[in-house]
Amino acid sequence: MSTSPEDREPNDRARDAEGARAADDAPATGAEPSFTPQEGTGTEPSFAPREDSGAEAAAPRGEGEAPAEPGPGGALSAETLALTALVLLAVTVFSGQLLQLFTTMVLIGDQPVPVDQVTQFSIQVIISGLSAAVAALVAGISLLMTRAGTRPWARWVATTALIVSLLLVLLAVVTYILMPAGTEMQQPPF
């Protein structure tokens, strides 16, 4: 008794070679078709992928491990805080006061400056530095709140905002150090 079909010889190697070539030419999709009939469809074969094939079979998830899908947003999510840090950073950068004050302090050098003007400069430097520090704080909190489901752009925005705002805080400190001491300007006699 033979297990081969009636029209085929068990030792027919030419037909086996054709089958091997056809199997090599078939596209590799990672999922193998199942030829078992599905319930309610009659006896037609199903070409649906098997459940145990593909990437899921290669990397099974452990118990209690959730897929890395984006989590829900919200008022206090990492994404929201990243965007808030970006807006605070934009306010600091586009006001232009910090860069302008730094160049002013470099250009003034040792020249006498009235006390009132030095006071005004120092207040502007402190406000710009605090604005940059708040942006750095919010970006840092956003990075601390990231988890597996956090969208990648939120991490990039928060990291960028943190780096740039820390550089602006450093610039504010250097500007404050470069600030000259104020001198009382004497009224010229008439």
Please give the mean pLDDT across all residues of the chain.
75
Specify the pTM: 0.58
Cα distances (Å, whole numbers) of residue 75 to 33, 80, 116: 46, 6, 43
Give start and end residues of each alpha helix (H) in 46-151.
55-58, 78-95, 97-108, 115-144
Phi, psi of 49 (to 5 degrees): -65, 145
114-156, pLDDT tens digit by residue? 888 888 888 999 999 999 999 999 999 998 988 887 788 888 9
Determine the distance from the C-alpha atom of residue 5 to the mean position of all C-alpha atoms in its chain, rounded to a whole number.
59
- Classify residue 160 as exposed, middle or buried by CB count within 10 Å of its CB (0-12, 13-18, 19+): middle
Q: What's residue 55's pLDDT?
A: 45
pLDDT band per the 50, 70, 90 thresholds, residue 12:
low
